Chains A and B, each alone.
Chain A
Amino acid sequence: SQQGEEDPQALSIQEGENATMNCSYKTSINNLQWYRQNSGRGLVHLILIRSNEREKHSGRLRVTLDTSKKSSSLLITASRAADTASYFCAPDERSARQLTFGSGTQLTVLP
């Protein structure tokens, strides 16, 4: 089954900087979701972008989707220490019966 692949695997930035994470997938999708996982916790849904959308915002989060390149990016602006977490993309492949999750990007925001 398809799996989103996040890049980079790990990212370390200073508080106040922007963080950008990328996701690539292989086949046609209905939508793509991003999740956050704080250490020792379950995943939390952040945002869903549909295949006919190119950009979506939610607070300090900005997600873009390029279906021609089969990629998405998650931008966190003005990062805070509390943004330290793993971030996962989950493409909803049209032919699949379920979401699939990649290995995630581990973001560390240094105070």
Chain B
Amino acid sequence: NAGVTQTPKFQVLKTGQSMTLQCAQDMNHEYMSWYRQDPGMGLRLIHYSVGAGITDQGEVPNGYNVSRSTTEDFPLRLLSAAPSQTSVYFCASSFGQGLRNEQFFGPGTRLTVL
């Protein structure tokens, strides 16, 4: 199993540009989520999904969109990038009790918005 994979590893955007961060998992987990990690602030939940076709907002959803067309994939879209979105983004998946269960994290995408 590859676990949770994320692409790209690094990305630099200009303010106003849009892009999609990719996330995939091969563990057949129903739950998938996106976090951002900023220095001194821990991980904050952006959006999550409890299964294909179902998504919901987390703690900091503004400026981001998600969709879940398959169990395996959960892309995160930045609609119009802003410097405040400079961060490290982690995708995670889990099973059972979902977001309250053990989380399996991807390696992260380091995003810089100029």
Contacts and interface: CB of A to CB of B under 8 A. Distances in A.
Asked if A and B are interacting partners, one says yes
B40 A103 contact: yes
Interface string A12-54: 0000000000000000001001010000111111001000000
Given A88-B42, A101-B42, A45 B103 contact: yes
Nearest to B56: A97
Interface size grouping (class) on chain B: 20 to 34
Contacts of A90: 103
A41 B108 contact: yes
SS of B interface (majority): mixed
Contacts of B105: 42-44
A3 interface: yes
SS of A interface (majority): loop
Interface residues of A, number: 24
Given A1-B59, A42-B4, A101 B43 contact: yes
Contacts of B104: 45
A103 B42 contact: yes
A46 to B, nearest CB: 10
Contact of B58 (A40, A41, A42, A98): A98
B66 to A, nearest CB: 15
A98 B41 contact: no
B100 A104 contact: no
B107 to A, nearest CB: 5
Nearest to A46: B102
Nearest to A3: B42
B40 A98 contact: no
B42 A98 contact: no
Interface of A: 1, 3, 30, 33, 35, 40-45, 48, 88, 90, 92, 96-104
The 4 A-B residue pairs whose C-beta atoms are closest, nearest first, are: A42-B105, A98-B99, A101-B43, A101-B42
